[in-house]
Amino acid sequence: MSDFLNDKRFAGIEKFPQKLWLSSPTMHGDEQHWVDEAIRTNWVSTVGANINEVEKQIAEYVGVKYAVALSAGTAALHLATKLAGEKLYGQARPNAGTLQGRRVFCSDMTFDASINPVAYEDGEAIFIDTEPDTWNMSPQALEKAFELYPDTRLVVVAHLYGTPGKIEEIKAICDMHGALIVEDAAESLGAKYKLNGRWVETGTLGNYNCISFNGNKVITGSAGGMFLTDSLEDANKARKWSTQSRENAPWYQHEEIGYNYRMSNIIAGIVRGQIPYLDEHIAQKRAIWERYEKGLADLPVKMNPWDREKSEPNFWLSCLIIDEDAMAPQVRGEQNYLYKSEPGKSSPQEILDALAAFNAEGRPIWKPMHMQPIYRTHPFVTVEGNGRGRSNAYIAGSGVDVGADIFRRGLCLPSDNKMTAEQQERVIEIIHRCFL
């Protein structure tokens, strides 16, 4: 890494005395009250008033009939995926997943927690390339995937960085093929989408919907997540599975495999204290995105895009992508990287290193799942069809791979809602200096 603090390009810029985070928890005081209340009343367990209250309040906010509070977004995604598997293919034996031998179409550029539950349930994830307009699942690539694998009946779709994807198109394609949707709204709580002319929240758009209260999310419980649904049967099943699948018997009786996935009443106390501030956090995140858009307008970069007619992101993370002709050389191996500085150009790794040198935290774009070592043998579908093995020693392939391109040229910027305008101006200045 270069010595950014002594590099002439960065002369006059001071290091942040306190680290500027990508996205850290923002406590307000109410959290302490509800946690104390749980302890005072001795509801220090996976039952209690905080859990009941957060389930009620989030269901009301998002506009679903039922919310089931769980230990993590990942737990919600697992139960959602299992519910879908059981609905489509029936109950599995205790030692097998509900998706055994089945294919599932999955968002490709996302956190692996979105799609790992497909593997927990013994299914095979087929990765669907990303579109450049919202950085989410490409409906065209999804159509190609149904041409290649017409028997597929499940799609797992995430809203990247709080920006709703092209859900209307994706739903229409799924309806045409009789496929169900697991919606991963872990990053997008509070984001809105215009579905068939009506504004609705993300977290209501799939057949099975999930959110997260992980420490870096727009509101947090330190951990935690929820399964959201309009189906009482699915809500009850998720609740049962999450509490070790106890039957209604005087002793511990089990007809099904269970999990210890329920949210604790202490965690729920933190979430309960955060809910009143959700809209405020979103407004702060939006202001950050807008300041970046303005402050970086004169550079050869673009902000992460969103559909201004059909969506209102929650602006969880602000990101940028460098124009191709302003990309300085950068190579990434499996665990390390190299880059070169060139006048008028920069690269995500250079910008991330420069930010880190000045004590600010950015992050690479989620490395697409089809590029991950664990999933390299899984199919990947682009707008051109099969995205694997399109070139060989004799024929040059077109190499369309939108996700790989955004990963190569993009990065997540410090997006903490406590960042002041002055601090953000300094971040913007550091990015400008990278292009000198």
Ligand X SMILES: Cc1ncc(COP(=O)(O)O)c(C=O)c1O
Binding mask 122-161 for ligand X (x = CB under 6 A): ------------------------------------x---
Q: How far is the CB of 211 from ligand X (least distance, A)?
A: 8
Sign (positive/negative) of CA torsion 88, 90, 91, 95? negative
Stretch that binds ligand X, among 4-12, 67-75, 233-241, 276-284 (CB under 6 A): 67-75
Residues 6+ apart with CB under 8 A from 219: 189, 213, 271, 274, 275, 277, 278, 281
Q: Rounded to whole angstroms, how far apart are CA atoms 411 and 315?
A: 14
Stretch that binds ligand X, among 89-97, 180-188, 292-300, 319-327 (CB under 6 A): 180-188
Could you say which residues in the range 82-121 bind ligand X, by CB under 6 A? 110-111, 113-114
Q: How far is the CB of 78 from ligand X (least distance, A)?
A: 9
Residue 212 engages ligand X in binding (rule: CB under 6 A): yes
Q: How far is the CB of 186 from ligand X (least distance, A)?
A: 4
Dig out the tokens for 418 from the structure: 């406590």
Residue 214 engages ligand X in binding (rule: CB under 6 A): yes
Q: Using the minimum distance from each CB to ligand X, give the nearer residue, 68 or 322.
A: 68
Residue 73 engages ligand X in binding (rule: CB under 6 A): yes
* 225, 273, 368, 379: which one binds ligand X (CB under 6 A): 225
Beta bridge partners of 164: none
Binding mask 181-210 for ligand X (x = CB under 6 A): ---x-xx-----------------------
> How many degrees, rounded to 5, is the angle at CA 18 between CA 313 and CA 190?
15
* 38, 58, 72, 142: which one binds ligand X (CB under 6 A): 72
Q: Rounded to whole angstroms, how far apart are CA atoms 118 and 105?
A: 10
DSSP characters for 47-99? -SHHHHHHHHHHHHHHT-SEEEEESBHHHHHHHHHHHHHHHHH-PPPTTS-TT
Q: Rounded to whole angstroms, how far apart are CA atoms 23 and 418?
A: 9
* Order of strands, sheet of 311-312, starting from the edge strand that comes earlier in the sequence: 198-201, 192-195, 311-312
Residues interacting with ligand X, by CB under 6 A?
72-74, 77, 110-111, 113-114, 158, 184, 186-187, 212, 214, 225
